[in-house]
Structure 1
Amino acid sequence: MKAALKTADGRFEIAEVDAPDLPAADWVKARVRMAGICGTDLRHWEKAEEELHCCIMGHELAGEVVEIGADVTRVAVGDRVLIESVLGCGSCEWCRVQQYNRCPDLYPTRRASVWRAYAELVVGPQHKFHKLPDQIGYDDATLLDTYAVGLHAQHLSGLTINARVAIIGAGPIGLGQLMLAKASGAEVLIIDTVPHALELAERLGADRVVQSDHEDPVAAIRAMTNGRGADIVFECAGGESMPDTLPLATRLVRRGGKVVIVGGFDAGETSIALEWQRIQMSEITLIPSASFAFHDLYSEQATVLDLLTRGKLRTQELITHRFPLERINEAFETAQDGRRTGAIFVGLTIG
């Protein structure tokens, strides 16, 4: 099959590689039709990472089932599917209670199968394949990994109706967080420095947008909340901006409020200066949020698919660019330079 392999300098080259086999009777093989580029992928872009050299990357994907094992009952050949890429070892204490996003072997396990979106074929256990309704396209489905991340963060936050919410970052995760909060009855202020992202946030229902390099976001949230600050702040920018955005989040939140850390970090130690005395004296809660799994009885991946199907979430406005797999390096360059290119979510058509 054709696949994009990571090069020594952190870019990609297209190569012919062996197609994956079904390793067990309850596994499924699918032809990838669409894959996305998210912030996690961009943090590995143009970085020399020996452990990823020649690896197939990508974890936001949808496709068509082409082969099933003898014990598969969940899907059939020809089904259009959303493929969930959060896959734990299945045997640890966390996996046994459906907290597989906390699995100690999460990344080695998922990279061996479902975390290989930038290729023509992928395999995984049947419970990671969700049938798509007729009205949901492959491109719509590729955003649902992102939305499930936001749903998991919202579940951890305890958000209730009429909450005052601030969101830092108007990329795909922040915009998904916005739609989920609005669907739950919250009033939402969203912060970014990119004008076209904030314009889209307004169209998606934001009550207030703040371009933080032109306006003070702390003053804006206080004006919106009778001087108190937000009940909940979602930090959705992450990466290199975190030393600035996490302290900002703690200034936006009210006394007794919650800061949910959704944006990702690079591996290793990250030093971030916080006003710990003020955080402690105000009893501000910091909540790390990692990927998604189950909430009570319900798969968070399946839940956002249901919300999209019922019109509670939107996708097409976020998909600004599409590239064939052969142009993956151009696609990453476009996604990386979103301020210039106007990119929000960049998709790759495959197969």
Structure 2
Amino acid sequence: MKAALWYGKKDIRVEEIEEPKVIKGNVKIKVKWCGICGSDLHEYLGGPIFIPVGQPHPLTGNVAPVVLGHEFSGEVVEIGEGVTNIKVGDRVTVEPIVACGKCPACKEGKYNLCSLLGFHGLCGSGGGFAEYTVFAEDYVHKIPDSMSYEQAALIEPIAVAIHSIRMANFNTGDTAIVLGSGPIGLATIKCLKAAGASLVIVLQRKSIRQEYAKRAGADHVLDPNEVNIAEEVKKLTGGLGVNTAFETTGAKIGFDIGIDSLKYGGTMVITSIWEGEMNFNPNVLVFSEKKIVGTLAYRHEFPATIAQMSDGRIKSDGYITKKIALDDIVEEGFGTLTGPEKKKHVKILVTPDKSLLSD
């Protein structure tokens, strides 16, 4: 079968590899669509970050090259021994966490903080940029008939946003600033509106993404090149600042403006993956009892995400900006998302089945 493999920084290759075999407790999925994630881009531009190189991953035993892709949907074509909740023909999405199930975090139900954490599509257990993949039944979720496979490929990034909002202890009526309106930023805006935010402000430099942010539900979109965003936020909140900031840029400007825009006692949630270190003075927290919370992926959020997307509380319209074949993923996918046209795109979906492109 064909699959896209990460060999190294800026080295992704579409190759023929052996089709995976189903094993006990696992299901085999024929992939329909898989999104290119910001994490995939980080691995492409600055990796390895999550991908095991040199030292095998402790749970999969694999090293690069690995099959990429973790935001995917598909149809179950085979089930392994002991599988009871999933059957052949089920339409599904995958919560792509590889966890040990034995460490203290896993035993607490915080499997996304597993001491040996890996991600399907990054740690060598297979991935969604392939014709088929095999994964554990416990992390495979059925999708309703009313949800398209394309929509289902968006469940994973939207679950990231829902988890970050839960980690913020965000309440109905609270105010927020979202730093950046890339895929996770836009998902965060949509989820904040669904959560009953009274005000959502977005930091976004002038580009088409300002319009995307407004369509997602942003009340105000501010360009740091045009205004002092922290001052504008104070004006918009009666001099207080926002309850919560969501950092999705992975850049110091986003971090600094987010902290400065918070009200006393406010919380900054960092969802972004960083490629390097950053300095800041902890006094900005101490003098006003502001808090910084890190958030990684999701845990137990997939059912809620599926429910809210299927009943329309969280809308996915406008999220998909391009659909391509697996054969074209390097040039039309990663090339597009790292090239001069990157700001025009939110989510590029990839399919190994070219017939789906004509549907």
Task: State the TM-score, normalized to the length of structure 1.
Answer: 0.91
- Code of the residue aligned with 1:236 in structure 2: it is T
Confirm or deny that 1:323 pairs with 2:324. Answer: yes
**More moved, 49-58 vs 195-204:** 49-58
Correspondences of 1:135-150 after superposition (within 5 Å): 135-150=146-161
Confirm or deny that 1:42 pairs with 2:41. Answer: yes
Aligned residue for 2:357? Answer: none
Aligned CA distance change for structure 1 residues 8 and 258 (closer, same or farther; 3 Å): closer
Confirm or deny that 1:283 pairs with 2:259. Answer: no
Question: Partner of 1:260: helix, strand, or coil?
Answer: strand
Aligned residue for 1:335? Answer: 337
CA RMSD of aligned residues (A): 1.9
- Code of the residue aligned with 2:4 in structure 1: it is A
Structure 2, unmatched stretches of 5+, are 54-62, 354-359
Count matched residues: 339
Which digits, 9 at most, give the CA deviation of each residue in 1:278-317, with x for residues without a partner? 3201000111111111xxxxx2012111100010112230
**Shift of residue 109, structure 1, vs aligned partner:** 7.5
Structure 1 runs of 4+ aligned residues shifted over 3 Å read 46-50, 108-115, 337-341
Correspondences of 1:157-306 after superposition (within 5 Å): 157-186=168-197, 187-238=199-250, 241=251, 243-266=252-275, 270-293=276-299, 299-306=300-307
Aligned residue for 2:27? Answer: 28
**Shift of residue 342, structure 1, vs aligned partner:** 1.1
Question: Partner of 1:122: helix, strand, or coil?
Answer: strand
Structure 2 distance, partners of 1:174, 1:109, is: 23
Structure 1 distance, partners of 2:200, 2:92, is: 32
Aligned residue for 1:296? Answer: none
Aligned residue for 1:14? Answer: 14
Aligned residue for 2:58? Answer: none
* 1:350 counterpart (348, 352, 358): 352
Aligned residue for 2:356? Answer: none
Higher helix share: 1
- Code of the residue aligned with 1:301 in structure 2: it is F
Question: Partner of 2:258: helix, strand, or coil?
Answer: helix
Structure 2 distance, partners of 1:23, 1:113, is: 16
Question: Partner of 1:232: helix, strand, or coil?
Answer: strand
Aligned residue for 2:56? Answer: none
Question: Partner of 1:177: helix, strand, or coil?
Answer: helix
Task: State the TM-score, normalized to the length of structure 2.
Answer: 0.89
Aligned CA distance change for structure 1 residues 100 and 115 (closer, same or farther; 3 Å): farther
Aligned CA distance change for structure 1 residues 338 and 166 (closer, same or farther; 3 Å): farther
**More moved, 275-284 vs 45-54:** 45-54
2:31 and 2:133 in contact (8 A); partners too = yes
Aligned residue for 1:309? Answer: 310
Structure 2 distance, partners of 1:79, 1:107, is: 25
Which digits, 9 at most, give the CA deviation of each residue in 1:175-202, with x for residues without a partner? 1111111111111101111421121221
- Code of the residue aligned with 1:257 in structure 2: it is G
Aligned CA distance change for structure 1 residues 56 and 146 (closer, same or farther; 3 Å): same
**Shift of residue 9, structure 1, vs aligned partner:** 4.7
Question: Partner of 1:67: helix, strand, or coil?
Answer: strand
1:3 and 1:118 in contact (8 A); partners too = yes
Question: Partner of 2:74: helix, strand, or coil?
Answer: strand
Structure 2 distance, partners of 1:340, 1:89, is: 36
Aligned residue for 1:132? Answer: 143
- Aligned-pair identity (%): 28
Structure 2 distance, partners of 1:223, 1:207, is: 14
Which digits, 9 at most, give the CA deviation of each residue in 1:18-51, with x for residues without a partner? 1112231x21010111111111110111457582
